[in-house]
Amino acid sequence: LKQVSSGKTSTLYRKGQIVFHEGSPPLACFCVYSGRVKLYRTDLDGKHQIVSIAGPSDLIGHHALWLQKPHAVTAQMLEDGYLCVIERSTLTQLLERDSGLALELLKRTTQELEDTQARLADRSHRSARSRLACALLRLWESRGADGKGRTPDHILVSRQDLADLIGTAQETAIRLLAELKEIKAVSARGSRITVIRPDLLRERSEPPY
Amino acid sequence: LKQVSSGKTSTLYRKGQIVFHEGSPPLACFCVYSGRVKLYRTDLDGKHQIVSIAGPSDLIGHHALWLQKPHAVTAQMLEDGYLCVIERSTLTQLLERDSGLALELLKRTTQELEDTQARLADRSHRSARSRLACALLRLWESRGADGKGRTPDHILVSRQDLADLIGTAQETAIRLLAELKEIKAVSARGSRITVIRPDLLRERSEPPY
DNA sequence: CGAAAGATTGACTGAGTTCAACTGAAGTGG
DNA sequence: CCACTTCAGTTGAACTCAGTCAATCTTTCG
């Protein structure tokens, strides 16, 4: 995939920009070169559920391509970044040529499926409290370099995105985050959340509570 | 996959029998020839979340094989049925030989991923009421022949399985099912649930409520 | 027929949603 | 440089869905 990306020109996408919309027909898929992209579903009440957050070297928008159906999710940039556009025809050729690629994609997709199944199980059986702790840990552990190769000890997520990720109302996410600030596990100034005590988060991410 | 199955001997598995356990190392995967298999995760409190229900021609247990990790789910027979065992080595050979197979699996897995993502979104934003209606519809629409080619208008699921499927306590599932009996959308004697008015179910499966 | 498993109902409780008001930081234009 | 809009984040209070516990009732099956 990296080879494909490098051969192609990548395009700049701005923070907040929509890459593709739920319900729109799939014309191409995208390989993330830099920046993060949130993929979310929208229900009839306009509520969002973040399905995954893609980062560098992740492929997005390909599901709809395989299934020959409209996109089931909307992809929106969480920060400025470059995406490499891969046309449907290009991808088809690649798959036919390199059989290893299909296996690699199968592996990735399977991993993503297991992750989603795990989240599904957690969603009903764990409290929002433990889900928040868990989500913060994941975001923290997968936080990328900030552009100049420095790895910061904070993450950048809005309260709403945090809520959409763990599946609660924004107010709940805020209240639970306040608890974490209370016990000095994290600190926050705006959407800049600093993880101070990952061990405390890990403790809270276990059920019950 | 059907070709593979037919070439192999299938083994009888009894209702309630465990095919493989969460946490156990993957030795082989299975192709369902007849009967249905529930795949579920177990959390620390011993609660189950049914991740999917596999039927004839579905492949199960392959995730752990690709990922070279222990099974993330437990597979248990919902009724008597035959499964065809496919050894790891056999599968590897097949994948190398037939590149189309990898694509087919990729497609299936992607579809399953999208389904699971949809359920994840529903779980937090839709009421248990609508989830139950939705689950009943799915079960009803995908109910198979009953052995003699007859397609019955009822489904056979225990209350507990229904609850584990939609992610509620059994009592909640029962109470909501009672509502559906009340409005004559379904009737039930034991775990034999007859769908009378699919239209009413469809209506209730829409949010809100 | 009787035990064991599965289904049902009631009472109580609490986590999380909703609504609504308020604060604070960040622009923007006069 | 300051009033003015705007948007993200906070907080309080009322409400409600769904979980838990516990006591039956029913169906299934040996």
- For B2-25, how does the pLDDT look when each residue is reduced to its tens digit (9 = 90+)? 556 555 678 999 999 999 999 999
Does A134 contact B at CB distance below 8 Å? no
pLDDT of residue B181: 96
Torsional sign, CA A61, A64, A70, A73: negative
Q: How many Cβ atoms sit within 10 Å of the Cβ of residue B183?
A: 12
pLDDT of residue B207: 63
Three-state SS at A131: helix
Residue B171, Cβ density class (10 Å: 0-12 exposed, 13-18 middle, ≥19 buried): exposed
Distance B130 CA to D25 C1' (A): 28
The CA distance from A17 to A88, in Å, is: 22
Secondary structure of B83-134 in HEC code, one letter for each residue: EEEEEHHHHHHHHHHCHHHHHHHHHHHHHHHHHHHHHHHHHHHCCHHHHHHH
Q: What is the pLDDT of residues A46-74, one digit of tens each?
A: 899 999 999 999 999 999 999 999 999 99
Q: Please determine, for residue A6, whether its predicted confidence score (pLDDT) is greater than 80.
A: no
Q: What is the pLDDT of residues A138-175, one digit of tens each?
A: 999 998 766 566 778 899 999 999 999 999 999 999 99
Torsional sign, CA A113, A118, A123, A128: negative
| B190 is near strand C: CB distance < 7 Å | yes
Nucleotides of D under 7 A from a protein CB: 8-13, 17-22, 27-28
Q: Which pair of tokens denotes residue B204?
A: 């209730």
pLDDT of residue B90: 86
CB contact (8 A) between residue B119 and residue A114: no
Touching A: B residues 41-100, CB under 8 Å: 41, 43-45, 47, 49, 51, 62-63, 66-67, 72-73, 95-96, 99
Partners of B192 in the beta sheet? B156, B189
Chain B residues inside the 8 Å CB shell of A121: 41, 43, 49, 51
- Out of A43, A102, A168, name the one closest to residue B102 (CB): A102
- Out of A41, A49, A121, name the one closest to residue B43 (CB): A121
CB contact (8 A) between residue B41 and residue A117: yes
Order across the sheet with B48-54: list the strands: B18-20, B74-77, B37-42, B48-54
Three-state SS at A176: helix
The CA distance from A86 to A93, in Å, is: 11
Residue A198: DSSP 8-state: H
Q: What is the pLDDT of residues B129-177, one digit of tens each?
A: 999 999 999 999 988 766 566 778 899 999 999 999 999 999 999 999 9
Strands A192-195 and A154-156: antiparallel
Does A104 contact B at CB distance below 8 Å? no
The CA distance from B188 to B133, in Å, is: 14
